[in-house]
Amino acid sequence: MTRKIAVVTGGNKGIGFAIVRGLCEKFDGDVYLTSRDVGRGESAVELLKCAGHSLLYHQLDITDQKSVDSFKNHLISKYGGIDLLVNNAAIAFKNDSTEPFGLQARETINVNYFGTLRICESLFPILRQDAKVVNISSALGHLSKIPSIHLKEQFKNKNLSIEELSELMRKFVKDSEEGNNVKEGWGESAYSVSKVGVSALSFVQQRLLNAENPNRNISVNAVHPGYVKTDMTSHKGVFTIEEGARAPLFLSLKSTYKGQFVWKDKKAIEWDGQLPEPY
């Protein structure tokens, strides 16, 4: 029997680390912790092994095509495919960051949206039957966080293509670099726009997979894990990383959802509806 394979990007700390730990406990197969920085990744793996868990490590920088190709080739040669992909790797500038907003926008979109898209485009062809893809989004990735009605309509277009979505992301970066992000209706959070992009990408991916071959039975969902105490939130969150991992683990292990925006309580909500509170 072919052994199942799970991959978590950005798994060396925070929610990603808690997801890896949860998968080590409950996933019936091999679990890969991946990280951009080898030292930090290997330290995280060692910590989990010392706690009695069995897992594997591979370097992965989702912004580097060579790194992505190397990982894909490793997976193909060793296993032939994968069964679970958790896209957790992301960045966020702090509220008091002094970098120009245009630069923040470019770097945030490059990692959070285009990096996620890059790893998906690489690994989707080797997703096995009944595979699951979990894209870690955010409450800030809810469509209500985009001020412009016109932009909202484009994001929720039922026939939106990946290239059209990517073009929206490029337009946000361009508008931000020109100082027009508020004027053009994007708002003032590059992280929010990046996660709206990740959420929208999830729905487009599910639609395309269904159209391509529904018999593969692959699920793609976006999830808001909650406001978690991590480096990304400067530890101002209200949930532990274990609590933040609950909904992603539910989607990874038990869920039958497809193409949904899932809240921290494991319930699917309307992405273009009213935003639940508290976050």
Return the CA Rg of the chain: 18
- If residue 15 lies in a helix (H) or strand (E), which one and from where to where? helix 14-26
Catalytic residue (one of 57, 113, 191, 227):
191
Name every residue whose Cβ is closer than 8 Å to that of residue 262 and which is 6 or more positions away in sequence: 221, 222, 223, 224, 247, 250, 251, 255, 268, 269
Sort strands 82-87 and 4-8 into parallel, antiparallel or unpaired: parallel
* Beta-carbon count within 10 A of 80 CB: 11
Distance of CA 87 to the CA centre of its chain: 4
Say if CB 261 and CB 137 are below 8 A apart: yes
Cα(210)–Cα(129) distance, rounded to whole angstroms?
13
Take residue 266 and report the two structure tokens written for it.
């494991």
Q: What is the DSSP string of 29-70?
A: EEEEEEESSHHHHHHHHHHHHHTT---EEEE--TT-HHHHHH
Cis peptide upstream of residue 278 (ω within 30 degrees of 0): yes
Q: Does residue 227 have an active-site annotation?
A: no
CA distances from 275 to 152, 158, 195, 226 (A): 14, 20, 15, 13
Q: Are strands 127-136 and 219-223 parallel, antiparallel or unpaired?
A: parallel
AA identity, residue 200? A
Catalytic positions are 191
